[in-house]
């Protein structure tokens, strides 16, 4: 199922944890996994701290130091930095569902990562239910 998201900055992390948790809750799946997938080459998804907003600022700052917006890139669109950052973040993340809830750590959140905005974007959520007999390792 796809979900629309509007980014408002050239680079930003948008916390989508509550949206994903709501989708999981409405699915009535008690145990399984949820996959969040971003179908864009200049945006990604990651799991990171959601308690201190400075972490998001620091992440973007560090990515810009390593891969500056204006660098020695050949791609004619001028957004090579965004492609590199999106590849590093990845296009999907998987979270375990246990007792109908996301198994995230105390400080963890799921972030949509925009590197070439603002844009109209989307992400997909796929929930896979476990059978009654499963092994947790």
Q: What is the side-by-side order of every strand in the sheet holding 108-114?
A: 12-15, 108-114, 43-49
Give me the DSSP letters along the chain. -EEEEE--SSSEEEE-HHHHHHHHHHHT--SEEEEEE---SSEEEEEEE-S-HHHHHHHHHHHHHHS-SSSS---TTS-HHHHHHHHHH-SEEEEEEETTEE---TTEEEEEEESS-S-EEEEEEEEEEPPSS----
pLDDT tens column, 51-79: 999 999 999 999 999 999 988 888 988 89
Q: Which pLDDT band holds residue 132 (cuts at 50, 70, 90)? A: low
* 14 has a pLDDT exceeding 70: yes
Residues whose CB falls within 8 Å of the CB of residue 74, separated by 6 or more in sequence, listed in order:
80
For the whole model, what pTM was predicted?
0.93
Token pair for 37:
């997938």
Count of C-beta atoms within a 10 Å radius of residue 116: 22
Determine the Cα–Cα distance for residues 122 and 120; give it in Å rounded to an integer: 7
Q: Which pLDDT band holds residue 22 (cuts at 50, 70, 90)? A: very high
Write down all domains in the chain, each with its CATH number in brackets.
Answer: 2-129 (2.60.120.460)
pLDDT tens column, 32-58: 999 999 999 999 999 999 999 999 999
> Which residue has tokens 């930095």?
81
């Amino acid at each position: 199922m796809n979900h629309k998201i509007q980014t408002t900055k050239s680079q930003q992390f948008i916390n989508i944890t509550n949206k994903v948790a709501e989708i999981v809750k409405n699915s009535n799946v008690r145990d399984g996994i949820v996959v969040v997938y971003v179908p864009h080459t200049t945006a990604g998804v990651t799991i990171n701290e959601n308690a201190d907003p400075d972490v998001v600022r620091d992440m973007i700052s560090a990515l810009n130091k390593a891969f500056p917006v204006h660098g020695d890139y050949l791609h004619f669109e001028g957004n090579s930095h965004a492609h590199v950052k999106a590849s590093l973040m990845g296009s999907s993340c998987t979270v375990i569902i246990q007792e109908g809830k996301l198994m995230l750590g105390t400080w963890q959140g799921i972030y949509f990562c925009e590197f070439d905005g603002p844009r109209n974007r989307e992400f997909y959520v796929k929930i896979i239910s476990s059978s009654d007999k499963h092994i947790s390792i």
